[in-house]
Amino acid sequence: MIRDVLVDFGPEESATGVDFRDEVHEGTVGWCDRRGLHRVLRNLIDNAVKYNRRGGWVEIWARTENDEITVRVSDSGEGIPPGELRAVSQRFYRVDRARTPGRGGLGLAIVTHMVQNMGGTLDLRSREGVGTTVTITLPTAP
């Protein structure tokens, strides 16, 4: 599924100059809400591209371990100021409205809610000017 989502972003990869990398380990399988996970991945990758810089990169890493699937989406983008890390998962919140006009939306609020509904967790780490990593962990079975 991860590679399918990345194929969907082919035009953005060309237009933005952002390089996509995937490191999906063999045997990364599990149970999930397929439509929900697809939406989560699209949202995370879209944010990673949208808040990146020309020539930057987006990496998607996935592995199954200890009855859990871990998926990490990292980027070399703008990063999030430390004081705003908690707020970005609120509906309609944008870090800097002046730099990102028209980019507000449900974003990480939907991602967080959907991951929790699938029995998982979400961890957000970011360094301003360096990039952001979002890690989701999901159970491999219902």
Quick one: pLDDT band at residue 44, thresholds 50, 70, 90? very high
Q: Is the pLDDT of residue 96 over 80?
A: no
Kindly report which listed range (23-27, 51-55, 82-86, 121-125) carries the lowest average pLDDT score: 82-86
How many other CB atoms sit within 10 Å of the CB of residue 140? 15
CATH domain 2-139 topology: Heat Shock Protein 90 (3.30.565)
What is the overall mean pLDDT for the chain?
85
- Domain limits of the chain? 2-139
Label residue 124 exposed, middle or buried (CB < 10 Å: 0-12, 13-18, 19+).
middle
Phi/psi of residue 7, each to 5°?
Answer: -60, -40
Tokens at 30, concatenated? 């599990």
- Residues 5 and 7: their CA atoms lie apart, in Å, by 5
| Whole-number pLDDT of residue 97 | 44
Quick one: pLDDT band at residue 102, thresholds 50, 70, 90? very low
| Whole-number pLDDT of residue 91 | 60
Percent of the chain with pLDDT over 70: 87
Phi/psi of residue 66, each to 5°?
Answer: 50, 50
Residues near 133 by beta carbon (within 8 Å), at least 6 away in sequence: 72, 73, 74, 75, 124, 125, 126
Instruction: Record the pTM.
Output: 0.85
CA gyration radius, the chain? 15
How many other CB atoms sit within 10 Å of the CB of residue 138? 22
- Residues 71 and 64: their CA atoms lie apart, in Å, by 9
| Whole-number pLDDT of residue 77 | 94
